[in-house]
Chain A
Amino acid sequence: MGFSTLLDIIGSTMIGGTILLILFRMNDSAVENHYLNSGELIVQTNLISVVELLEYDLRKIGYCQNWEDAPVPSEALLEATDTSISFLTDVSTTVNQFGDGNIDTLRYWVGSPNDVDVRKTPNPKDRMLYRQVNGEAPLYSNMGVTQLKIVYFDALGYEIPVSELIVSAAAKQPLGVITMQIDITVENTAAYGDMEDEENEVYSKDKSAFWRQIRLAAPSLNNR
């Protein structure tokens, strides 16, 4: 084995090693990109699922298939805070999409980021979203909701402070809510490469999705 052969081996090893390093880096990038895209898909899917669910139910505030039994519009909302809402409606069933004709109480709320179930996830801000029909056990899912904020407005378009709504609900008086602004932010519960940094709140900042809608509180009864 001559000197030139030795040079060939050293040269090809160096070139091969460089190519391997490049390939490893490319592999790392590909994996990262794949995870990021997957994370984005998860965020988008979760957001759309949450929004579709909320829209479907909130459109029916105050609705009842037996219209004679529908609640008085001003009394359709039972309780309202910036993170929860409870209202009267006729919940659709798989048998009858228009409801069974009996008034139900439907409640939505988000849990705390410190709840046991969501503390298992790397994202420190995600919360459980709960949906409860009448007195049944609440159904819940961690869809990566980090914000569910509801702002309420009266007939003249003025914001109603949540403290007033709480007092009215406790006294079983009409809440006076005519329109609502609903803000939802969804983040990945376990995004790729992110580190928990509560102080700077950098988790998944570039992997969150936001949705906002302003709607009538009780469109089904607005004409009465």
Chain B
Amino acid sequence: MGGKAILLVVISFSLMFTVVKYNSTNTTAQATERLTSYYVKTNAHNIASSAANIAANELFRNPNWSGFGHDTLYMNGGYAVLTVNNPVNAKAKFDAKAVYSFFYAGEKITEESRVNFILNATNYSRFGYYTKNWGTGYLVTGDTIDGPFHTQGKLNTLGSPVFLGKVTTKAGLKMVGNSYGYGAANPEFKGGYETPVDVPFTLNTSALEGIATSGGKLFNDPSGHNLDVRLKFNSDGTVDWSTKKTGTSSWTTPVNADLDTLTTNGVIWNKKGNIYLSGTVNGKYTVGTAKSGGSTGNVYLEDDIVYRNDPLKFVSGGTTVTNPDCEDMLGIVAEQQVVVKDNAANRNDINIHAALFNYGGGISVEGISSSKPNMGKMRIHGSLIENTAQTTGYTNGAGYNQVIKYDKRYRHSTPPAFPSTTSYEIVSWFE
């Protein structure tokens, strides 16, 4: 009797253990499955990300790249399908949709992942500061560069200058510290640093001339002389303009013109000569001049050139945000350079609201020397693009104390027909 009871107990326990064992094994398997599922998702994502990076790399090397000739890339046991479409306000939108399959315990697990990015033309105005030639100068402790920075040369830093936007260089970085009283070599790249990045410096003046001819305003002396053009923008949306042949002294009587009528596409271009500029801008315009000979191709600033509202709002800590009240935008393009005129109006500060493009040099001050008096501050609220930096002030106080603040609207918006590079950049990345 006792033996039978024991037998029944053993059988009962055996059945119970079988169930428990099954559940236990099942539980262990589920834990593994969770990890397997994560592995599959991660792999799918990596494939999508890799495919997008490969496509982006091809586009950086060749802006006209139109695909591999097939839309499926096989890698790492899975594949990615690349598709392209054209969104509004951008060059192209690339979508990499990856599929990865994995067999676990005889069961096929499939995961999909997608990465997409939007590509757009790189406009020079999106740089807070672009300089083709950096030279041998240093940015030092106390210097703050606002907005994206790029140089085709090697960037030299001494101590710990601060870069608020992303910094890219073609030829690398030289960090120097503990010299001339400056601290340790520790530049602060708040927006990142990348090298080598090639952004060639180009200017197509004939394209701007064409745009000004069809829908803009083209100044061109009919007898073929170099022409100087004086533009004084008014806050009511008009401009007073006059001209004279370069090298002569008599300006024509100023003509007041409605800018909407004068230039419907916002481009005002001087075929060859100089431009003399000042006033308050109401609207979005690009003003510029081509050169013909050594004394032309300059844009002279005769006084402040500002928007109706400052594009920047200053917040605590010295940082700025975009002023939503500012809707105006100005691009100044000089095939030579932008020059601050040496006159009474400019001897006590100058305010410049614009993206400044200096193809032949950099923004400079007429007649600047170390014996000149202190002229206050040169405030540039916009962006500065130049071939080579020029002297605008001296450490003894002569000239200007230059302050450049980036107008963040230039990141995604540009003055009409402002020069672009021949390459593209990624403006959005979703993964």
Instruction: Decide yes or no whether B262 CB sits under 8 A from chain A.
Output: no
Instruction: Decide yes or no whether A139 CB sits under 8 A from chain B.
Output: no
**Contact yes or no, A12 B165, CB < 8 A:** no
**Contact yes or no, B20 A34, CB < 8 A:** yes
**Contact yes or no, A30 B21, CB < 8 A:** yes
Instruction: Decide yes or no whether B366 CB sits under 8 A from chain A.
Output: no
**Contact yes or no, B13 A220, CB < 8 A:** no
Instruction: Decide yes or no whether A195 CB sits under 8 A from chain B.
Output: no
**Contact yes or no, B164 A174, CB < 8 A:** yes
**Contact yes or no, B192 A172, CB < 8 A:** no
**Contact yes or no, A171 B34, CB < 8 A:** no
**Contact yes or no, B413 A68, CB < 8 A:** yes
Chain B interface size band reads: 35 or more
Scan residues 209-238 of chain B and give those whose CB is less than 8 A from a CB of chain A: none
* Interchain CA distance A73-B148 in the complex, whole Å: 10
* Interchain CA distance A63-B20 in the complex, whole Å: 49
8 Å CB contact of B6 from A15, A34, A156: A15
B83 vs chain A, min Cβ distance (A): 15
- In the complex, chain B residues whose CB is within 8 Å of the CB of A224: 126, 148, 166, 411, 425-427
B116 vs chain A, min Cβ distance (A): 8
Scan residues 66-112 of chain A and give those whose CB is less than 8 A from a CB of chain B: 67-68, 70, 72-74, 98
Instruction: Decide yes or no whether A40 CB sits under 8 A from chain B.
Output: yes
Contact status of A37 and B27, CB under 8 A, knowing A23-B13, A155-B193: yes
**Contact yes or no, B24 A33, CB < 8 A:** yes
8 Å CB contact of B191 from A20, A23, A31, A174: A174
Stretch at the interface among A43-51, A142-150, A183-191, A196-204: A43-51
Q: Please indicate which of the listed interface residues A12, A20, A45, A221 has the most CB atoms of chain B within 10 Å of its own CB.
A: A221
Instruction: Decide yes or no whether A154 CB sits under 8 A from chain B.
Output: yes
Contact status of A67 and B35, CB under 8 A, knowing A16-B6, A30-B20, A174-B190: no
The interface bits of chain B over 19-41 (1 if a CB of A lies within 8 angstroms of the residue's CB, else 0) are: 01101100110110011011001
Instruction: Decide yes or no whether A178 CB sits under 8 A from chain B.
Output: yes
**Contact yes or no, B165 A67, CB < 8 A:** no
A177 vs chain B, min Cβ distance (A): 9
Scan residues 114-143 of chain A and give those whose CB is less than 8 A from a CB of chain B: none
Contact status of A37 and B31, CB under 8 A, knowing A51-B38, A74-B164: yes
Instruction: Decide yes or no whether B5 CB sits under 8 A from chain A.
Output: yes
Q: Please indicate which of the listed interface residues A44, A65, A175 has the most CB atoms of chain B within 10 Å of its own CB.
A: A44
**Contact yes or no, B408 A72, CB < 8 A:** yes
- In the complex, chain B residues whose CB is within 8 Å of the CB of A13: 2
Contact status of A48 and B27, CB under 8 A, knowing A12-B2, A31-B20, A74-B190: no
* Interchain CA distance A51-B21 in the complex, whole Å: 30
**Contact yes or no, A156 B413, CB < 8 A:** no
**Contact yes or no, A30 B190, CB < 8 A:** no
- In the complex, chain A residues whose CB is within 8 Å of the CB of B30: 41
- In the complex, chain A residues whose CB is within 8 Å of the CB of B319: 171-174
Closest-by-CB residue of A relative to B41 is A52
- In the complex, chain A residues whose CB is within 8 Å of the CB of B126: 224
- In the complex, chain B residues whose CB is within 8 Å of the CB of A45: 31, 34
8 Å CB contact of A12 from B6, B118, B189: B6
A73 vs chain B, min Cβ distance (A): 5
Instruction: Decide yes or no whether A26 CB sits under 8 A from chain B.
Output: yes
**Contact yes or no, A44 B28, CB < 8 A:** no
**Contact yes or no, A30 B17, CB < 8 A:** yes
Task: Return 13 A-B CB contacts under 8 Å, by A number.
Answer: A26-B13, A30-B24, A33-B24, A41-B30, A48-B37, A51-B38, A68-B412, A155-B167, A155-B191, A221-B428, A222-B166, A222-B192, A224-B427
Measuring CB to CB, which residues of chain A are less than 8 angstroms from any residue of chain B? Answer: 9, 12-13, 15-16, 19-20, 23, 26-27, 30-31, 33-34, 37-38, 40-41, 44-45, 48, 51-52, 59-60, 63-65, 67-68, 70, 72-74, 98, 154-156, 171-176, 178, 219-224
16 further A-B contacts with Cβ under 8 Å, apart from A19-B6, A27-B16, are A12-B6, A16-B3, A19-B10, A34-B23, A52-B38, A60-B431, A72-B191, A72-B408, A72-B411, A74-B192, A98-B430, A154-B189, A176-B190, A178-B192, A222-B166, A223-B427
